[in-house]
Structure 1
Amino acid sequence: MGHRTIVYGHVLLFPSREAWPNADEINANALQALPETDEWPFLVRSMFSISENQNVNLAYEYRVLHFGASYKEIEFEWDEWLQKFERFLSTLLGVTAIVHMESDHFGNHAYEWVCQPPAEPLPPMAWEFQGGQRNFT
């Protein structure tokens, strides 16, 4: 029997507007490009959802891409999972990303990335990792 680890977080995405006219399309395509099945440690499309509503503006300044999953002992492959997440981030037009890992065995950890958008909104974006333990082995 192993221990449980909950991984969740969000990415603040640029919505389409005058400065970023194709942002929604680029971000939706990046999300759609994620696999629905994956090798361990998995990072799959169904973990993610973009908050949107036709009747209510849920994108004041940014759209929120949220995600979450429950894993069995992902800490031992945590750096590999983070690398997959960072590859996905490089395809998104956004400003910040936060990942929380709640481990029954190793405690709670938070990770953050920030991005300075390029002059033209074309991936890959240059996300900068802001800390947190990447290796638990």
Structure 2
Amino acid sequence: MDSESIVYGCIKHLPFGELVQRKASCMHNRRAIRQLPQADEWPFLCREMFAVPGDDLMGGTFQTQVIHFGMSYQAVEYEWEHWIRKFESLLRQMYWVSAVVHLETELSGHHTFVWDATDVCHEPSDQPLRVRCEWAREGAIA
């Protein structure tokens, strides 16, 4: 059986400013997700793996816009740097305060990657992104 990897997480945006500005930044994020390809080159980062809530409480947004995503891959950890570059390219186009990606692998354990905005909120730009990684491995040491 082939090695399976699970990737999931969320991008959080806490809109600031007047109502018009808040709605505009949330719509901008929706467009960024919609502009992702339906099918992508390996390792895939495509729009089908993302879910964007509505603008109001009944649509899933109280204050924070939480864009969640997830996908099952065949051994994506071998192409992980490439996947991260694609994900960071998406983040550079969006408004957000933090993003978390969980990578669960059968052979390399579980990894959590966290991006935090350098200011109050990241605005679309090419500025460098800060990421930190936590690693956990299940099982006993032989």
Global fold match (TM > 0.5): yes
Pairing of 1:1-137 with structure 2 (within 5 A): 1-15=1-15, 18=18, 20-21=21-22, 22-52=24-54, 56=58, 58-117=60-119, 122-124=123-125, 126=127, 127-132=129-134
Q: CA RMSD in A?
A: 2.5
Contact 1:118–1:125 (CA under 8 A) maintained in structure 2: no
Contact 2:56–2:62 (CA under 8 A) maintained in structure 1: no
Secondary structure, counterpart of 2:7 in structure 1? strand
> Percent identity at matched positions?
33
Secondary structure, counterpart of 1:87 in structure 2? helix
Residue by residue, what CA displacement relative to the aligned partner does 1:91-126 show, whole Å, maximum 9, x if unpaired? 11010000001101111110000113579x851264
Larger Rg: 2
Name the aligned partner's letter for residue 125 of structure 2: P
**Number of equivalent positions:** 132
Contact 1:15–1:61 (CA under 8 A) maintained in structure 2: yes
Residues 16 and 29 (structure 1 numbering): CA distance in 2 closer, same or farther, change over 3 Å?
A: farther
Consecutive unaligned residues of structure 1, counting only runs of 5 or more, are: none
C-alpha distance in structure 2 between counterparts of 1:102 and 1:36, whole Å: 23
Consecutive unaligned residues of structure 2, counting only runs of 5 or more, are: 136-142
More helix by share: 2
Name the aligned partner's letter for residue 41 of structure 1: P
Name the aligned partner's letter for residue 5 of structure 1: S
CA deviation after TM superposition for structure 1 residue 58, in Å: 2.8
